[in-house]
Structure 1
Amino acid sequence: MNSLENIPLDQLHEGLSASLEKTITQQDIQLFAAVSGDINPAHLDAEYAASTPFKEPIAHGMYGGALVSALLGTQLPGPGTIYLSQQLSFLRPVKIGDSLTAKATVKTIDAEKNRVVIDCQVTNQLGKPVITGEALVMAPLEKVVIEAPKVPQIQIEKNVADSTTA
């Protein structure tokens, strides 16, 4: 069984951290564009992206933000966490093939108000930060261990307009 386990407010402490890793694929970028509606050609069109300062397609900045969200909702504090706010700074582009590590570290805890400030950082395979920021969350009050929900399998089909005829 693949399970998710949270860390309730009374078990959190400053300095506690968790991380997750993800290597970015073209399919990730395409799926994020489909779900978010962000079809900026800098992400999806190699010819257009060649004319940008990055010279090739880059991942959506908020894809890295979504990795932070996944980390907060599945590990630290985990299931039951309520997002209140997020501040992010985007420092470097993320390209196809980059391996990202999202890390969340408890910065401060206000137990009376159930508010936890979490330092968030996403680094690339070179250890260089691509995103930094802080999240404010309400931590779960009770311990939860649950089976991880199943996510649907998704397949990308090539658009007819994208295909060439022989």
Structure 2
Amino acid sequence: MIVAEQYFEDYAIGSRRRTLGRTITEADIVIHAGQTGDNFPHHMDAQWCATQDFGRRIAHGTLVFSVGIGMTASTINPYAMSYGYDRLRFVRPVFIGDTIRVVTTISETRPHAKRSGVGIVVEAVEILNQADETVLVCEHLYLVDRRPERDA
């Protein structure tokens, strides 16, 4: 892990991070189904899926989200913490054998409405497949400490 100490004022709109790829496997899907109880045939029944529009099993959207967000968790900032996710959309299906990667872009910084000591940093998250097609998008909100004022 990398430690990167950034206060709210240090975040720059347009700043980007990119991850390496990760291939989604059948084991990922089976484990995720077991953890969540989501055993819908779209994910688990190859024969049924062969009769549907996609023609094969698809990864759970929540699996793609979890893996993608985990791929971006390479830096620890002691001045920030995750505040949640907004505007989550599953844009395209992810299939067994697809390789995903993530691009994040700082899209907004704003003061917190009730807490003067922190601000909110919004990071646009785009998960792409091996064909550079967007498969998932969301906004990751960070609660970030403001830089302390120095005594004069």
Q: TM-score range by the shorter chain?
A: 0.7 to 0.9
The residue number in structure 2 matching 1:82 is 82
Give the TM-score taking structure 2 as reference length.
0.78
From 102, 114, 119, give the equivalent of 2:124: 119
The residue number in structure 2 matching 1:149 is none
Cα-to-partner distance string for 1:16-48 (whole Å, 9 max, x where unaligned): 222322111101111111122211111111012
Distance 1:27 1:17 in 2: 31
**Residue pair 1:104, 1:121 contacting (<8 A) in 2 also:** yes
How much is the aligned-residue C-alpha RMSD, in angstroms? 2.6
Cα-to-partner distance string for 1:117-163 (whole Å, 9 max, x where unaligned): 11110111011111122222213679xxxxxxxxxxxxxxxxxxxxx
The residue number in structure 1 matching 2:29 is 29
The residue number in structure 1 matching 2:139 is 134
Matched positions, count: 140
SS at 1:109 equivalent: strand
Structure 2 residue ranges without an equivalent (≥5): 148-152
Distance 1:38 1:50 in 2: 19
Distance 1:45 1:140 in 2: 47
Give the TM-score taking structure 1 as reference length.
0.72
* CA separation of 1:37 and 1:94: change in aligned 2, threshold 3 A: same
SS at 1:127 equivalent: coil
Distance 2:95 2:73 in 1: 25
**Residue pair 1:7, 1:140 contacting (<8 A) in 2 also:** no
* CA separation of 1:6 and 1:27: change in aligned 2, threshold 3 A: farther
* CA separation of 1:31 and 1:126: change in aligned 2, threshold 3 A: same
Structure 1 residue ranges without an equivalent (≥5): 143-166
* CA separation of 1:37 and 1:80: change in aligned 2, threshold 3 A: farther
The residue number in structure 1 matching 2:15 is 16
The residue number in structure 1 matching 2:60 is 60
TM-superposed deviation, 1:86: 2.4
Amino acid at match of 1:5: V
Residue identity over aligned pairs, in percent, reads 26
Amino acid at match of 1:123: L
The residue number in structure 2 matching 1:95 is 95
Distance 1:37 1:141 in 2: 41
